Amino acid sequence: MEDVIEMLRERNEPVPVPLELPDEDLLIEIEEALYVSLPDDLRDYLMQVSDVVCGHLEPVTVSDPNSHTFLPEMAAVAWSLGLPRKYLPICEANGGYYCIRQDGAILFWDEKTSDEGWDNIWLWCKDVWLAD
C-alpha cells in the first residue's frame, strides 16, 4: 500500500484548484448519504490519495459535491444503470465502472460482472490507474 501511495504522489499532476482530502466526519456523512458502509480499503484510499490527479482515469472523490467524481453522485448514476447496490463504483471507464465489493475486492462492471478483478484497491491503483 505504501509503495502505491508513494507512486501516486510522485505522478500527481498540478491542478489549478486541488481537492482536499476528507476527514473521518466527512466519510461518515458520505456513508449516511449512500446508506452503506465504505469498505476499509476505500476509506483508506479516500483519506490518503483521493486528491491525486494523474492520467486520464478519474477515481471517486468525496470532498467536492459539485465534482463529476463525487462518490454519492457517481453511485446514484451507476446504480440507475444497473450496477448492483452491493457494489460501489470507484471509477467510470470504458462504458462501465470499476467497483468495490464490501470485502474490498475490485471488479469491472458494464451491465455484467467481469471475471477480471483485483484483490484490493491498491492493486487496482497499481495495475490500472498508474498503468494509464
Is the pLDDT at 115 greater than 70, yes or no? no
Place of cell 484510499: 45
At 32-89, the pLDDT tens digits run 999 999 999 999 999 999 999 999 999 999 999 999 999 999 999 999 999 999 999 9
Nearest to 64 by CA among 72, 56, 54: 72
- Rounded to an integer, the average pLDDT of 85-110 is 95
End-to-end CA distance of the chain: 18
Full DSSP string of 28-97 = HHHHHHHTSPPPHHHHHHHHHHTT---SS----BSS-TTSTTBHHHHHHHHHHTT--TT-EEEEEETTEE
Query: pLDDT tier at 99 (50, 70, 90 boundaries)?
Result: very high
Is the pLDDT at 107 greater than 70, yes or no? yes
- Structural domain span for residue 117: 2-129
Is the pLDDT at 16 greater than 80, yes or no? yes
56, amino acid identity: H
The CATH code of the domain that includes 6 is 3.40.1580.10
96, amino acid identity: G
Is the pLDDT at 114 greater than 70, yes or no? no
